[in-house]
Homo-oligomer: A and B are copies of this chain.
């Protein structure tokens, strides 16, 4: 095998991130991994099938080497917020957001994969937050946290400005602390 499956998925992710779903071509993916186009179709039935593998890989990477469940929630929340922000700042754009806008009803499997990715990410963050701020507020807080992290990529993409992302990270962590303090106070 000239290229492993993981290499292809990694390169596909980079291509989707740069050019979006419609703008990414199987020909360029083949060129990047050093294969001819027909060889790609021995591994993937079609272009759309790449998307779910790309999202699955991205989710796994986000939670690679994840600490034990017995850890305290606040360091865990800080870690995941920092990891997401670091990836977005590093790659200059969000592959999930680009695909979310790029897929449509003509690519239902891809749309489902993107939807499930963000739902799973939100659920994992809500699970962590739940230990600190209670289960009622956790899901909304996780959703809004992703809203701000993803939204901050707008300024990276258009102007190369990282400061909105830095402010988002700082205020998310600060808000989690205050929310936790209020919850403890209410429970006391």
Q: Which residues of A contact B (CB under 8 A)?
A: 18-23, 93, 97-98, 100-102, 104, 111, 114-115, 118-119, 140, 143-144, 146-152, 154-155, 157-159, 163-164, 167-168
Contacts of A167 in B (CB 8 A): 140, 144
Task: Give 22 A-B contacts (CB < 8 Å), ordered by A residue.
Answer: A18-B104, A20-B20, A20-B22, A20-B101, A20-B102, A21-B23, A22-B22, A97-B101, A98-B101, A101-B157, A114-B158, A115-B159, A144-B167, A146-B151, A146-B154, A147-B148, A147-B151, A147-B152, A147-B155, A147-B164, A148-B151, A149-B151
* For the complex of A and B, 7 pairs with smallest distance between CB atoms: A151-B151, A22-B23, A147-B151, A22-B22, A115-B158, A150-B151, A98-B101
How many Å lie between the Cα of A51 and that of B68 in the bound state? Answer: 49
Query: In whole angstroms, what is the CA distance A94 to B22 when docked?
Result: 17
